[in-house]
Amino acid sequence: MMRLGKLLRALRVVRLSQVLESLQLLLKCIVASLRILFWSLVLLMIIQCSAGMTISYMLSDYMSDPARADESARYEVFRYYGTFSKTILTMFEVLFANWAPACRVLIDNVSEAYSLAFIIYRCFVGFAVLNVVNAVFVQSTMKVALADDEIVANEKAQAQADAPLEWRGDLGADRFAKTVVVTGAGGRTGILVVGELLDKGYEVRALVHSKKSKEALLSKYKALPADRIYVADIQDKASLQKAFAGCAAAIVATSAVPKLKVWSLLPFMVKKLFGKKGKLRFSWKGDGKPEKVDWEGQRNQFEMASEEGVQQVVLVGTMTGTQKDSFLNSIGEGEGDQIVMWKRKAEVFLIDLCKKNRMKYTIIHAGGLSDEPGGQAPVKLGVDDKLREVKNLRIPRADIARACVQALECDLAKDRSFDMTSVEGGQALGEDGLKKLLQEMGDVTCDYSINPPP
Footprint of ligand NAP (CB under 6 A): 184, 186-190, 209-210, 213, 233-235, 253-255, 257, 285-286, 288, 293, 297, 316-318, 366, 368-369, 397
Least distance between ligand NAP and beta carbon 258 (Å): 8
Beta bridge partners of 395: 369
* Cα–Cα dist 52/44, whole Å: 12
**CB-nearer residue toward ligand NAP: 85 or 219:** 219
Smaller CB separation from ligand NAP, 74 or 380:
380
Min. distance of Cβ 306 from ligand NAP in angstroms?
19
Q: Which is nearer to ligand NAP, 122 or 292 (CB)?
A: 292
Residue 370 beta carbon to ligand NAP: minimum distance, rounded to whole angstroms: 8
- Contacts of 250 by beta carbon, 8 Å cutoff, 6+ apart: 180, 181, 182, 183, 244, 301, 305, 310, 312, 313, 314
Compute the distance between CA of residue 177 and CA of residue 223 in angstroms, rounded to an integer: 15
Question: For residue 224, which of 186, 257, 250 has the smallest C-alpha distance?
Answer: 186
In sequence order, the 6+-apart residues with CB closer than 8 A to the CB of 156 are 309
- Helix ranges (H only) for 65-110 are 71-81, 84-96, 99-109
Q: Find the angle CA(45)-CA(47)-CA(51) to the nearest 5 degrees.
A: 115
Please, which residue, 87 or 318, has the CB nearer to ligand NAP? 318
**245: three-class secondary structure by DSSP:** coil
* Spatial CB neighbours of 376, under 8 Å, sequence gap ≥ 6: 396, 428
- Shortest spacing between CB 6 and ligand NAP, in angstroms: 45
Cβ(250)–Cβ(305) below 8 Å: yes
Which residue, 103 or 182, has its beta carbon nearer to ligand NAP? 182
Which own/partner pairs from 220-225 qualify as long-range (CB within 8 Å, at least 24 positions apart)? 220/191, 220/195, 221/194, 221/195, 223/198, 224/194, 224/198
Cα-based torsion angle of the residue sequence 265, 267, 268, 270 in order, rounded to the nearest 10 degrees: 120
Smallest distance, Å, CB 349 to ligand NAP?
15
* Of residues 368 and 430, the one with the C-beta less far from ligand NAP: 368
Q: Which residue's CB is nearer to ligand NAP, number 178 or number 343?
A: 343
Q: How far is the CB of 395 from ligand NAP (least distance, A)?
A: 8
Smallest distance, Å, CB 196 to ligand NAP? 13
Nearest residue to ligand NAP, by Cβ distance, number only: 187
User: Smallest distance from the beta carbon of 305 to ligand NAP, in angstroms?
Assistant: 15
Which C-beta is closer to ligand NAP: that of 195 or that of 317?
317
